[in-house]
Structure 1
Amino acid sequence: MKNSKRRTTSAPAHASPNPADFGTWLTGRLEALDYNLSGPRSGGRTAFADDSGLSPSTVTRLLRGEMPTDTRLLRTLAEAIRVPYPEVLVRAGVLTPDELASVQRPVTEHQITPEQAADELGITDPAERKVFVNMTRTLSRTTPNEGEQQLAD
């Protein structure tokens, strides 16, 4: 699918607003994964097509920097090159880094208080409510370090 419906918003420099940048980036990723792309008959494109499930013509178009907008194709590509899907969406110019950040960490128009959260959750027992409110306030003030986060997971 051609990129005729691509957004006209300008992307920050670390996105890939230039199709050639995407092709160059993808070439580097494939070479890092030991696909030989040194020549038209080196076999790397065909090997990657076989390994990824993408057609050889799709691989060629991607390496030329023909920007895909089909998110299913981009997901398949992300899995095949072992890069997080959101990064591929940004590199392909489907999302800007700012758009991705707003989806990953949405900002609510208003924050609710722990008391309002307790009301919403139906916590009415005074002792349970006090524990909930205190725990919520404590958690909202602290940021776990890496080790604590691993324990929480």
Structure 2
Amino acid sequence: MTNGSQPEPPITAPFGDWLRWALTHHGYDLDERGIQRKIADDTGIPPATVSRLVRGTSQPDVATCYAIGRTLRVRVMPILVRAGHLPPEALDREPHATERPSPTTEEQALTALGLTNPDDRAAVRAMINALTAKQRREGAN
């Protein structure tokens, strides 16, 4: 099988079709001997359940959907839709990840802490610099 060269099946595709695609896309060679046991070990799903899911003869329960999402590091909501636990419209209402706000500047942080005295601000900066240097030293060892 090719690793992830096929497009993702539509949300309405049978669950087994999507699962075979997802597993292949994430590096599992479904033709490899013992691969279903490896998938079972990686996900914590019983091997017989993995077999039924891959063959498309069974639908996963919610806990199994979560285990698949966690293992493959994919969002669980679409898996729940694919498994029939949620309607496709649920994806329209799913909160989307917002862009990360820009990091707080040192000045903003000191102000947010209520530090207005220049000596106090300097003391906090010195402590941060000392802790950062210590972390770098310890991380290098």
Instruction: Give TM-score scaled by structure 2 length.
Output: 0.56
CA–CA separation in structure 2 for the residues paired with 1:62 and 1:151: 40
RMSD: 2.4
2:59 maps to which of 48, 67, 88: 67
1:151 maps to which of 89, 101, 110: 101
CA–CA separation in structure 1 for the residues paired with 2:27 and 2:82: 21
How big is the shift at 1:91? 1.3
The answer for the alignment partner of 2:24 in structure 1 is 31
How big is the shift at 1:59? 0.5
Letter in 1 for 2:39: F
The answer for the alignment partner of 1:15 in structure 2 is 11
Unaligned runs of 5+ residues in structure 2 are: 1-8, 104-141
Letter in 1 for 2:16: G
TM-superposition CA deviations, 1:36-90 (whole Å, max 9, x none): 2116xx221111111111110010111122112x211211111112210101011
- 1:15 match: secondary structure: coil
- Superposed, 1:60-139 pairs within 5 Å as 60-65=51-56, 66-68=58-60, 70-102=61-93, 104=94
Unaligned runs of 5+ residues in structure 1 are: 1-12, 106-145
> Identity percentage over the alignment?
34
CA–CA separation in structure 2 for the residues paired with 1:14 and 1:33: 17
Q: Which has the higher contact order (CA 8 A, sep 6+)?
A: 1
CA–CA separation in structure 1 for the residues paired with 2:74 and 2:46: 19
CA–CA separation in structure 1 for the residues paired with 2:50 and 2:65: 11
CA contact 1:27–1:63 (8 Å) conserved in 2: yes
The structure number with the bigger radius of gyration is: 2
CA contact 1:89–1:95 (8 Å) conserved in 2: yes
Deviating 4+ runs (over 6 angstroms)? none
How big is the shift at 1:101? 2.8
